[in-house]
Structure 1
Amino acid sequence: MSKLVTIYIDGIGYEVPAGTNLVDVAKFYANNDIPVFCYHPKMEPVGMCRMCLVEMGSVEKDRETGAVLLDEQGNVKIRWMPKLQTACTQAVYDGLAVKTQTQQVTEAREDIVEFLLTSHPLDCPICDKGGECPLQNLTMRHGPGVSVFNFDDKVHLAKHVPLGELIYLDRERCIQCARCTRFSAELAGDDVLAFHERGRSLQIVTVSNPPFDSKFSGNTTDICPVGALTTADFRFGARPWELKDVPSIDPYGPEGANISLSTRLDRDSGGIVIIKRVMPRQNEHVNEIWISDKTRFGHHHTRHLDRLVAPLHREKNALVETTWDKAFKQVADKLKGAASVGAIAGPGLSNEDLWELRQLVLAAGGSEKSLGIWPATMSGGEVIKQVGVAKGTNFSNMGKGTVIVLVATDLEEEAPIWWLRAKTARDRGATVVVLNGRSTKMDHYAKFSLRYDYGDAIGAVNSLAGHIVNGKLHKDDALGRVEGFSDLQTTLKKTKAYAGYEAAAEAIASAENVVVFCGAEGVTLSQHADLMQACANVLVLTGHVGRTNNGLIAVWPGANTQGALDLGYSAEATADLLQNPPAVLIVAGCNPVGEDVAAAKLKDVDFVIVTSQFDTATTEIADVVLPQQSFAEREGTFTSGERRVQRFYAAQGVIGDSLPDWKIFAQTRQLVDKSHAKVSAGAVMAEITKSVAGYGEMGYKNLAQIERQFPDVGGNDLYYGGTAYQNTGGIGVQWPVLAENAEAKLKVAAVNTEKSKAKGLLIVPTTLLYDRGALFVRSELMSLRIPEAHANFSPADAKKLKIQDGDTVEISVENATLVVRAKVNETIPAGVITLPKCLSDQPGLFAPVVAGSIVTQALVATGD
């Protein structure tokens, strides 16, 4: 923690952390809102709007003793600067003094507001920002009563300018604060907005193709202090004071981003409460105040016309509507008489859903070995229990002295908020190390960009560990609690050392803090547990476990894969279910048949039960289809990839007769084993707290606890005007890992580094943020962001195969043929085809479920 210094605001002394921004300090400690427009706590100050002008000075001290000098009345003597200074560019230091309420300051603020309003339209009654607008609020508080400017001198500009399909610009309302351009270029790393023209004609333009090409574009509408930037789905949709904001959690990503669902009764939706917009909810531990565009605009599936509204069962080879009572009885009867039972759960199921599904499968005679997760691409949950990031880890506190390592992941596509937080930590001085088979966006910010051959990710991480051990860079004091070091040391001496890894290994070993993100790109399921262990070896050997801001994070697919692993589900179980299908299979909240050719055997299962929001390829093979509620219609919890359990709340009216999954499974189990069905999600979580290791403190009351956050961005006073909403739903609770117990023994282990011997082109399925998943594809607003099905070829392979960029090609692998568009991409290494998952209505290579499927030799042929 920074040392405390004494500063004086309007004559009152305050002890505050040294080096923090004066504007933030004044607000947090003195409850003094120094007005700002261009300043924002998450960006570097520029002092360009001049709204924050204050009188500034320094306490006078005796030069010899350093003692504070007092005047004749006993007050602290202060030497004031002759002119007003910008508060937003001032970091606090001992003895700083400011006056914020003098006549000189008041007149300066009046002048600035008057200048800003000279060409600003009087749109407040119809402006989307009205009611949460800093310009509106500060004009009422600090503006002049009259203006000397001639009305006829106003400059009129375009009022409905699309900056792409998601964001619209009203150029008349823009006050040129540059928050949007600075956020895009400095924080998001997307240089896609710029100023054009000069003087009073100065305006924002997009300079990218496609326009406003950023995964974080919606955040600019939040930080805009006026109504210049609006989102396409909320523009003229409702007034802020009509909305009820309900705390929720991002249903798509492993980061657990906190969001608010702004809801209102809607006539056009049948008079039910619906989501009008999605806004970030401040949680400095998780997503700060940012969300991705997928999170913001991907909610429209919740009220889509294609939603399933009633149970279906199969009659004469067709699915027809039935009642819940009949559906429950049919499913229960099948489960009670089944020779074998299994379940595959999607990553969007809550912990409560997963628990009741687990209990149902066990009641019907199944076991944990028949509890699968989807996508089944990653393993290593036991490694996380040992060396996951310690409690209290916060990327906001990382900078100099921190090393962030990315292994086998394209983080911006797989977990954009983690990417953004890692990138901003790098901006504060953290060192980034990227290990991957190809270049990704994070390579632009990495100090060490290390390549390896696809299929040898484990060997690459072992190479780092080898340099650490063989160079005696490991921490001797850490070895006292380590088991398996001798065997690992012997193995590492024989490990192939990748050239150029030495400096990265030294940086990791000498760092104060190290966090490793481990993905699964180019890695089979059977290899992934070993890759996780290899990453754990590096962390344990260098002593970077069991401490805040140190440890391992798995880049799990979906919102609650970590929770599924905690409750006994596994990808290995899914692989077994796909190879040896049970007599009765429950597929909950996922579409394996439509996504992966490896799931084709599920069509042969005797009886399939599916819970889903929409018709999918998996519901087409089902005998019973049960309509599930979306995340917005129910309450529950997700566990993030940082092991933070967080609550989300029911916000939207229920669509049709759909039910939450936990209730579907609980009522079915009641018919199977005569158990008493739980009456609420909270009651289910209460049972989980008594039964699941690490979840003892995860009751709903604890999860709802809040704290005051610094900087205070999401306050109800709308100081930053809709930048983010105050966290009233809870900041969540992390469960601890074994390494946090100083007495616990930690395991290092030699892991398999054998590479596939398959010859030919290597097909590497990759993840894109925007895909044709059953939920996201229903958000039509985002349709232009979803690319067509394609495969990426290296220039060398494309030339060898006589493939031109844009050709249609057939890729045959195992028993399937994929028809995609060819793209020639210089970031792809020779001998490799990267194949983005889930971009077609036909199943593809979604996950390396069958051993070797991700590295199977492929036949590539050009087509028309």
Structure 2
Amino acid sequence: MAETVTIYIDGQEYRVPKGANLVDAAKLHGIKIPVFCYHPKMDAVGMCRMCLVELGNVVINRETGKPNLDAQGQPEIRWLPKLQTACTQTVSEGLVVTTLSEKVREGREAILEFLLTSHPLDCPICDKGGECPLQNLTMAYGPGMSRFIFDDKMRLDKHVPLGELIFLDRERCIQCARCTRFCEEIVGDDVLAFHERGRRLQIVTISEPPFDTKFSGNTTDICPVGALTTADFRFAARPWELTEVATICPHCPVGCNLNASTRQDRESGGKVIIKRIMPRQNEQINEIWICDKGRFGHHHSRAEGRLERPMIRQDGQWVETDWQTAYALIADKLKQYSSRVGFLAGPSLSNEDLWEMRRLAGLTGQDTRMGVWPAIVTGGDLIAEVGVGVGTRLQDLGPESAILVIASDFEEEAPIWWLQVKQAADRGAKIIVANGRPTKLDRYAHAVIHYAYGDAPAVLNSFTAHAISKKRTADKTFLQSRVDGYSDVQSGLKKVRTDYPEAADALLGAENLIIFAGGEGLALEQQRELMQAAANLLIITGHVGRPNNGLIAVWPGANVQGAVDMGFSPEATVDMLANPPAMWMIARANPVGEDMYAAQVIPNAEFVVISTQFMTPTAELADIVLPSMSFAEREGTFTNGLRRVQRFYTAQSPVGEAIPDWKIFAQIAELLGGGRPHVSAAAVMQDITRSVPQYAGLSYPKLAYVEDQFPDVGGDDLYYGGTAYNNYGGLGIQWPTTAENAEARLSVRPVTITTLDRVEGLLAVPVQLLYDCDPLFAPSRMMHQRISSPYVELNSQDAAQLGIADQDRIMLSVGDHQIKARARVNGKAPVGVVLLPLQLLESPPPTAPAVCVVQKVEE
């Protein structure tokens, strides 16, 4: 438990955490000190002066060590002569605070009067009206009448686009600098700044393209007035009209907690739709931040092109049908192809969807042919053994911690993890970044390793060899009593060179060590080697079985961890592409549009069934297409990359006849003798808890459990630390790993490095982008400017040898498969490597590295 001190606020005694900010400490006990510029996630600057209080200290007698007493027998207090800003004060023993005196009242009233002389009375039309701290604080602490002279009003631009997503009203800005400080301190993107001076001081964007950051929407949350608004919510609804629904971001493995602000809408025919997405505080996951993809990507759920009814292909044409007819036909085909069926699960299926799909696979006898898409990262069994300990919080990592990020472009694949690792570096944690190319995280790294693509497992072997040779392993008792296979690994690493001593020393000298392992530049077999090498390093050095230590997979989707937990595997996907089934059952995945090998294999299947929201390239060649609900239209659970099972709720009305995927599989299973379908996702979760050991004891009510969080950012909007909403949807539950059982034995295994067969040509390496053409993102129109036109990246040296200039049109040949795109010639791609963005190119690239031939083509 944190050390506490005694302070006195308005004559009452309180125990608070030592060193806490005074504003936060007071709020812990329900005492509101009003603020505008202060934010608990950023450094205090004391700019707005709204938090003025009187401060003093109890006078202690040096001889007795006890307080001096005045004539009335009360402790003597030495007061500071002037009002002080509470946000710049940390609490210490004996601190005395007065927040209710006449002097404080007059000071706050004066500050508000100064602010209002430059602030327009836009409240009736302002998007912040109804949840505006300036509005509320003026009512609580402001003057009863105005001395404002209308002719002296400052007139500034009111509808300034800072980019395509955020608008600025310069008249409303109170110069608190929250937005500029967020971009500078939290994100590290130099994109906003102050311009001019005095009353003409105003926010400007200083990047090209404007407001060029992946986290721009957070500035609208932390803005304490209506100066910054999002393009999708501007003039769209009033806060008191909205119903808040807890949900989970469906895009990446972070599992950010969101609030969907919903309302019946005239434009949607009276249906309930999402009007905006706001962050929901969860200090275990995303704190209070979300990326712009999570904030604005939800518009795909109401986009044109959503499938509304089941369709069957007849004589080469799509014919709409009813659900029962579709179910009956699928059941007949499953019986016909019972021994030749493959099941492929997409990354955004809920745990309930995955369980019912697994149950259906079991009824056909094909529960070993259950693949997860995309097959980029594996090692779920290793995560279950040595994943990060229960209670891990990335924001707790500081000078005593080290973080290794390997084979992942973090900002593109898991933006909030990138943000938290960057902040850990700011707090003194040692960040080691290892990849085949430069990434943005390099600038915050203690050490950067650029290896040849395919050599990632060798880098970790080198770290482990360094630990063994320098005798910096866990103690012998641990290795002997709990670890199997240590001697085999030790002997296998005797000849391994320790090539990165600085990085190795940083990792091995840390009290806490977390490894994030991705799949960039690795075939699936190599990625498995990387995960095993990471597990070896963590076990041998003793960084397992406790919070803030262990392994995290950078899964390529929101619920790949859940898919692995439910029995699906990337290896099964690779096997099905190599040995194709006659019939494919595909759910919320688009393999034909994303991978060249799948585009060659799946069209040759005898029968294809897909559940999807849009008519994707995979759906276009299917025999039956089933409309499924989006994440916003149903309830369920996701398991994020830290193994935290989280619940999401129904936010908006369904589109057409779409239903949840779990219900589709359950209805088909009933026709195969699988019993009567469950009536709710909660009932499916009960089945999961009885059959999946990690989920034993979970339930929807338990997942909805919430507790007080510190700092309390999502509470009262008089404080307004970042979001107007508490977490009422649940904080989720993180299931424990094997290593956390003190009696369990752990296994390390020698890692044999698999090298890529290289012939003449360049190595094509697929890379992930945050803004891509994923069917669950690209239909969001307002994000179209963020999605790049198709391109591939080449090193300038390779481009010069091939006679290719920047923006030339080129063709890549991988075997017989051809990909055409514009060339980007820069220093990011290593020599001999071509970087291929996934889900962006007109023709699907390979999802694993492959040798290619590149040539320039005529326009």
When residues 121 and 541 of structure 1 are mapped into structure 2, their CA distance, relative to the original with a 3 A threshold, is: same
Q: Give, as a single letter, the amino acid of the residue that structure 2 aligns with 1:620.
A: E
Deviates more, 1:287-296 or 1:570-579: 570-579
Counterpart Cα distance in 1 of 2:77 and 2:109:
26
Counterpart Cα distance in 2 of 1:724 and 1:406:
33
Counterpart Cα distance in 2 of 1:729 and 1:689:
20
- The Cα shift of 1:68 comes to 3.0
Counterpart Cα distance in 2 of 1:644 and 1:709:
17
Counterpart Cα distance in 2 of 1:443 and 1:842:
31
Q: What does residue range 212-611 of structure 1 map to in structure 2 within 5 Å?
A: 212-338=211-337, 339-367=339-367, 369-477=368-476, 478-480=478-480, 481-498=482-499, 501-599=500-598, 600-611=600-611
Please say if residues 180 and 193 of structure 1, whose CA atoms lie closer than 8 Å, have aligned partners that are also in contact: yes
- The Cα shift of 1:332 comes to 0.8
Counterpart Cα distance in 2 of 1:674 and 1:557:
31
Counterpart Cα distance in 1 of 2:581 and 2:249:
33
- The Cα shift of 1:198 comes to 1.1
- The Cα shift of 1:105 comes to 0.6
- The Cα shift of 1:117 comes to 0.5
Please say if residues 388 and 552 of structure 2, whose CA atoms lie closer than 8 Å, have aligned partners that are also in contact: yes
Counterpart Cα distance in 2 of 1:14 and 1:622:
66
Counterpart Cα distance in 2 of 1:811 and 1:380:
31
When residues 718 and 249 of structure 1 are mapped into structure 2, their CA distance, relative to the original with a 3 A threshold, is: farther
TM-score with structure 1 length normalisation? 0.97
- The Cα shift of 1:35 comes to 0.7
- The Cα shift of 1:285 comes to 0.5
- The Cα shift of 1:724 comes to 4.7
Counterpart Cα distance in 2 of 1:76 and 1:690:
61
Counterpart Cα distance in 2 of 1:765 and 1:625:
29
Please say if residues 131 and 240 of structure 1, whose CA atoms lie closer than 8 Å, have aligned partners that are also in contact: yes
Corresponding position of 1:851 = none
Counterpart Cα distance in 2 of 1:357 and 1:645:
19
Corresponding position of 2:798 = 797
- The Cα shift of 1:398 comes to 1.5
- The Cα shift of 1:858 comes to 3.0
Pairs aligned (count): 854
Counterpart Cα distance in 2 of 1:841 and 1:681:
37
Counterpart Cα distance in 2 of 1:342 and 1:832:
34
Q: Give, as a single letter, the amino acid of the residue that structure 2 aligns with 1:558.
A: G
Match status 1:858 vs 2:850: no
Counterpart Cα distance in 2 of 1:859 and 1:836:
16
Counterpart Cα distance in 1 of 2:640 and 2:418:
15
Match status 1:843 vs 2:844: yes
- The Cα shift of 1:529 comes to 1.2
Please say if residues 157 and 171 of structure 2, whose CA atoms lie closer than 8 Å, have aligned partners that are also in contact: yes
- The Cα shift of 1:511 comes to 0.9
Q: What does residue range 767-778 of structure 1 map to in structure 2 within 5 Å?
A: 767-778=768-779
Q: Gaps (5+ residues) in structure 1? A: 849-853
Please say if residues 794 and 834 of structure 2, whose CA atoms lie closer than 8 Å, have aligned partners that are also in contact: yes
Deviates more, 1:57-66 or 1:220-229: 57-66
Q: Deviations over 1:574-612 (max 9, x none)?
A: 111112221221010010001111102111111111000
- The Cα shift of 1:482 comes to 1.4
Counterpart Cα distance in 2 of 1:77 and 1:808:
80
Please say if residues 246 and 650 of structure 1, whose CA atoms lie closer than 8 Å, have aligned partners that are also in contact: yes
Q: Give, as a single letter, the amino acid of the residue that structure 2 aligns with 1:349.
A: L
Counterpart Cα distance in 2 of 1:721 and 1:392:
24
Q: Give, as a single letter, the amino acid of the residue that structure 1 aligns with 2:127.
A: D
Please say if residues 22 and 89 of structure 2, whose CA atoms lie closer than 8 Å, have aligned partners that are also in contact: yes
Please say if residues 340 and 365 of structure 1, whose CA atoms lie closer than 8 Å, have aligned partners that are also in contact: no
Counterpart Cα distance in 2 of 1:26 and 1:780:
44
Counterpart Cα distance in 1 of 2:370 and 2:289:
34
Q: Deviations over 1:360-416 (max 9, x none)?
A: 11112212x210000111111111011000000011222120111101111110000
Corresponding position of 1:696 = 696
Counterpart Cα distance in 2 of 1:204 and 1:327:
57
Describe the SS at the equivalent of 1:777.
coil
Corresponding position of 2:784 = 783
- The Cα shift of 1:863 comes to 3.9
Please say if residues 297 and 777 of structure 2, whose CA atoms lie closer than 8 Å, have aligned partners that are also in contact: yes
Describe the SS at the equivalent of 1:776.
coil
Describe the SS at the equivalent of 1:129.
coil
- The Cα shift of 1:111 comes to 0.5
- The Cα shift of 1:723 comes to 2.2
- The Cα shift of 1:543 comes to 1.1
Counterpart Cα distance in 2 of 1:144 and 1:63:
45
Counterpart Cα distance in 1 of 2:702 and 2:60:
49
Counterpart Cα distance in 1 of 2:151 and 2:468:
76
Match status 1:34 vs 2:29: no
Q: Deviations over 1:698-734 (max 9, x none)?
A: 2111101000111111114452176252100100000
Corresponding position of 2:207 = 208
Q: Give, as a single letter, the amino acid of the residue that structure 1 aligns with 2:574.
A: A
Corresponding position of 2:748 = 748
- The Cα shift of 1:75 comes to 2.4
Please say if residues 714 and 727 of structure 2, whose CA atoms lie closer than 8 Å, have aligned partners that are also in contact: yes
Q: Give, as a single letter, the amino acid of the residue that structure 1 aligns with 2:430.
A: T
- The Cα shift of 1:842 comes to 2.6
Describe the SS at the equivalent of 1:344.
strand
Counterpart Cα distance in 2 of 1:312 and 1:373:
24
Aligned-pair identity in percent equals 58
Corresponding position of 2:814 = 813
Counterpart Cα distance in 2 of 1:281 and 1:669:
37
Match status 1:21 vs 2:21: yes
Describe the SS at the equivalent of 2:693.
coil
- The Cα shift of 1:857 comes to 4.0
Counterpart Cα distance in 2 of 1:829 and 1:68:
68
- The Cα shift of 1:829 comes to 1.7
Counterpart Cα distance in 2 of 1:858 and 1:488:
39
Describe the SS at the equivalent of 1:426.
helix
Corresponding position of 1:51 = 50
- The Cα shift of 1:432 comes to 0.7
Match status 1:112 vs 2:111: yes
- The Cα shift of 1:149 comes to 3.2
Describe the SS at the equivalent of 1:443.
helix
Q: Gaps (5+ residues) in structure 2? A: none
Please say if residues 772 and 841 of structure 1, whose CA atoms lie closer than 8 Å, have aligned partners that are also in contact: no
Corresponding position of 1:686 = 686
- The Cα shift of 1:196 comes to 0.6
- The Cα shift of 1:334 comes to 0.8
Counterpart Cα distance in 2 of 1:214 and 1:530:
34
Counterpart Cα distance in 1 of 2:290 and 2:230:
14
Please say if residues 46 and 89 of structure 1, whose CA atoms lie closer than 8 Å, have aligned partners that are also in contact: yes
Corresponding position of 1:83 = 82
Q: Give, as a single letter, the amino acid of the residue that structure 2 aligns with 1:753.
A: I
- The Cα shift of 1:615 comes to 0.3
Describe the SS at the equivalent of 1:299.
helix
Describe the SS at the equivalent of 2:626.
strand
Counterpart Cα distance in 2 of 1:486 and 1:750:
10
Counterpart Cα distance in 2 of 1:761 and 1:844:
14
Describe the SS at the equivalent of 1:263.
strand
Counterpart Cα distance in 1 of 2:241 and 2:266:
14
Deviates more, 1:467-476 or 1:215-224: 467-476
- The Cα shift of 1:827 comes to 2.6
Q: Give, as a single letter, the amino acid of the residue that structure 2 aligns with 1:746.
A: L
Describe the SS at the equivalent of 1:778.
coil
Corresponding position of 1:823 = 824
Corresponding position of 1:764 = 765
- The Cα shift of 1:95 comes to 1.3
- The Cα shift of 1:238 comes to 0.1
Please say if residues 763 and 851 of structure 2, whose CA atoms lie closer than 8 Å, have aligned partners that are also in contact: yes
Please say if residues 814 and 850 of structure 2, whose CA atoms lie closer than 8 Å, have aligned partners that are also in contact: no
When residues 628 and 448 of structure 1 are mapped into structure 2, their CA distance, relative to the original with a 3 A threshold, is: same
- The Cα shift of 1:815 comes to 2.4
Counterpart Cα distance in 2 of 1:623 and 1:112:
68
Counterpart Cα distance in 2 of 1:506 and 1:75:
56
